Amino acid sequence: MRHLREIDRTFLLALGGLCIFGLIVLVSASGPLSYQKFGDSWYFFKHQLIYGFIPGIFIFSLVALFDYRKLKPLAVGALVSSVVLLVLVYIPGVGMRFGGAGRWVQLGPLSFQPSELVKITFLIYVAAWLSARREERSKDLQNGLLPFMSALGVIIILLVLQPNTGSMSVITGSALLMYLVAGAPIIWFAGLGLAAVGFIAILIKLTPYRAARLLTFLHPELDPQGIGYHINQAFLAIGSGGLFGLGYGHSRQKYLYLPEVAGDSIFAVIAEEFGFIIAVCLILAFALLIYRCIKIAQNAPDDFGRFLATGIGSWVGLQAVFNICSMVGLMPITGVTLPFISYGSSALISLSIGMGIIASISRQSRKIV
The total of structural domains in the chain comes to 1
Mean pLDDT over residues 222-248, rounded?
Answer: 84
Query: In whole angstroms, what is the distance from residue 128 CA to residue 29 CA?
Result: 40
Asked whether residue 246 is assigned to any structural domain, the reply reads yes
Residue 289's CB is within 10 A of a number of other CB atoms, namely 26
Asked whether residue 97 is assigned to any structural domain, the reply reads yes
Per-residue pLDDT tens over the stretch 282-304: 999 999 999 999 999 999 999 99
pLDDT of 212 reads 62
Asked whether residue 124 is assigned to any structural domain, the reply reads yes
pLDDT of 369 reads 46
Q: What angle do CA 252, 256, 260 make, to 5 degrees?
A: 105
Percent of the chain with pLDDT over 90: 48
pLDDT of 152 reads 86
Q: Which range marks the domain in which residue 192 is found? A: 4-364
pLDDT for residue 17 is more than 60: yes
Asked whether residue 369 is assigned to any structural domain, the reply reads no
DSSP-H helix ranges across the chain: 9-29, 31-38, 43-48, 54-65, 75-88, 114-131, 134-139, 146-160, 165-181, 186-206, 208-218, 229-241, 266-298, 303-327, 345-364
Query: Which of 160-174, 267-281, 324-338 has the largest mean confidence?
Result: 267-281
Residue-wise DSSP of 274-301: HHHHHHHHHHHHHHHHHHHHHHHHHT-S
Per-residue pLDDT tens over the stretch 116-147: 888 999 999 999 988 886 666 656 666 667 88
- At 62, which helix (H) or strand (E)? helix 54-65
